[in-house]
Chains A and B, each alone.
Chain A
Amino acid sequence: MTDSHIIKVNNLFKDYAMGKQFFRALTDITFSINEGEFCGFVGPSGSGKTTLLNIIGALDNPTRGDVFVMKKSVNSLGHKDAAKLRNESIGFIFQTYNLLPVYTVFENVEFPLLLLKKDKTERERAVMQALEWVGLSDKAHSRPNQLSGGESQRVAVARAMVKLPKIVIADEPTANLDSANSHNILKTMENLNQELKTTFIFATHDEKVIKYLHRKIVLNDGKVIDDINLN
């Protein structure tokens, strides 16, 4: 693993129990991602994109093989250490936004900083900056149910970016958005990637997203069938 590899996956297998049988979701996956990449796992539904993303995000464990995220082996992380890794270094963007419904936009974006125990002044500054990045400074006091789908996803991007993580994981981020909103979101993320050198990893089968990727790792039936650098 060279110094520029922020993620390294070696011979990864993932099985799910289905009654007495097992379903193999990932088979012998090997690849690495460098710091600052804007890449994605591409493939049809059921190809294993989200599973792979969850393992990289320390939300799930591999059955076999090694996964290193920022030089830490995900296999050996306990609940606490996995939570710490997610808290400090990984931002998540979900297909369904997953905003906390009872919080305002400001509070949603502020949440990761509360977990990091940042002081109030720093939190306010960082939240307002993140909302500025996504163009939602004027919606700081709105509730999620008062936002459109595009706005909600921009809040999710701000929440993922506010703590300046090394890695942002985005699972089908544009699946619920129209073309204009998808373009806005992707442009915003691309800008942040270039400006802050944050590594973005997508799971998608959306052509709109694929057009923005600098590298696509193609999955089919749980296997990597292609790894294309689009630069």
Chain B
Amino acid sequence: MLLLKLAIRNITHAGLRTWLNVIVLSFVFVSIVLTEGIYDGMSEQIRDSEIDSNVGGGQFWQKSYDPFDPFSLEMSHSEIPADLKNEILSGNATAVLIVSASIFPINQVQSVQLKGIDPDQITVNLPSSFLKNHIDSNSIPGFIGSRMAKSSGLQAGDYVSARWRNVKGTFDAGDIKIIKVIDIVAPLSDRDQIWVPLERLRDMMQAPEQATIIIVEKDKTNIHSNSRDWIFKDQDFLLRDLNENISRKKIYSTFLYFILIGIALLAVFDTQVLSIFKRRKEIGTLMALGMTKWSVIILFAIEGCLTGILAFIVGSLYGVPILYFLAKKGIVLPQMILQSQFALGLTLYPKYGLRIYIVTGLILFISVIIISFLPTRRITKLKPTDALKGK
């Protein structure tokens, strides 16, 4: 109790020395929580965006469909079975027809996928309604994402020639009018893709009532089909690559987490070593006044711990409002983020759990205790007579 009282007195009276330590530690603490929050928020946002604009509550795939085999696309569409048709009519799902095509923008050829979608659908978060009001029957209306616009050089209002093969294997061609370039958050719905009206694409393909995939409304994961030609792929399957990618990134985030903690501990260790070096005369005086070596060691270790506790409190005082503000208002990201491989919008909302706050606080606190104690062991080797001389 006496040592605690003395330690409190020492650190409260030490002024700038204490506050510098506390500020560094608290800054690291808040930074760790913010970094983890940004990472967790980003992961959740990417996952949500993929679900909203691409994955839905799962997808029925035409049995031949393989997204990694573009040559199989020609065979991977068929008539939608009656039970799934009913779900589409009920608004629980939407059909997408996917067709390989070549476009010829600015004297070059580019392989793309034409994706037919119902302009009235509300299953996925894509602005398909833009496709409704096109009255020019000589061209096919289409919208593209900003990534596709960048890679093809196409802009809103541009016409681009497209060539495709219909179900009979005959090449056909037409002009697509880009009626809108939009920021599509999910890259899987953007890169090398042109979205066109479903019925128009069916006509172009001579494939009435046909589709390649059927995306289920995200809250309706219990839709079944009796058709053997249509296989349900759940969210776990469809998000597997993304989840693996996120897990890989989590390793970097954990690495960063420990680097930040390491910086904090280095600061504490350095301060303690410096403190013991600078306070040798004080240590000698304490011993001359009757303190044992171990009492001095414990006193210094308690001072380190109190610095950790103070850093947690100070960090919470200024950190919680900042973290709360960022979680509510979000962090505005540069426009270039839309070109990235992640389905991340222009605003990132960090997400913090109580767990990360408490665990980070505890890890930092325990580490500070250990790291405060280590340099103080030097005191046991210190002779009081040398310490009194400041040696």
Contact = CB atoms under 8 A, between A and B. Distances in A.
B384 interface: yes
Given A59-B287, A80-B292, A102 B13 contact: yes
Given A83-B292, A115-B2, A102 B287 contact: no
Contact of B10 (A84, A102, A114, A115): A102
A79 B288 contact: no
B291 interface: yes
B13 A59 contact: no
A117 B2 contact: yes
Contacts of B15: 102
B285 A84 contact: no
Contacts of A114: 2, 5-6
Nearest to B1: A117
A83 B291 contact: yes
Contacts of A86: 287-290
Given A103-B9, A114-B2, A84 B290 contact: yes
A101 interface: yes
B63 interface: no
A98 interface: yes
B13 A112 contact: no
Interface stretch (A87-95, A122-130, A185-193): A87-95
Contact of B384 (A59, A84, A87): A59
Nearest to A51: B385
Contacts of B147: none
A87 B287 CA distance: 9
B14 A88 contact: no
A117 B291 CA distance: 12
B280 to A, nearest CB: 11
Contacts of A59: 287-288, 384-385, 388
A111 B289 contact: yes
Given A59-B388, A100-B282, A100-B285, A112 B290 contact: yes
B290 A115 contact: yes
Contacts of B177: none
B385 A54 contact: yes
B281 A98 contact: yes
Contact of B287 (A83, A103, A111): A83
B293 interface: yes
Nearest to B13: A102
Contacts of B289: 86-87, 92, 111-112, 115, 159
A86 B388 CA distance: 14
A111 B10 CA distance: 12
B383 interface: yes
Contacts of B10: 102
A211 B14 CA distance: 41
Interface of B: 2, 5-6, 9-10, 13-15, 281-282, 284-293, 295, 383-385, 388
Given A54-B385, A59-B288, A79-B293, 11 more contacts: A57-B288, A59-B385, A60-B383, A87-B289, A94-B388, A98-B284, A98-B288, A100-B286, A102-B14, A107-B9, A116-B290
* The 3 nearest A-B residue pairs measured at CB: A87-B290, A102-B13, A98-B285
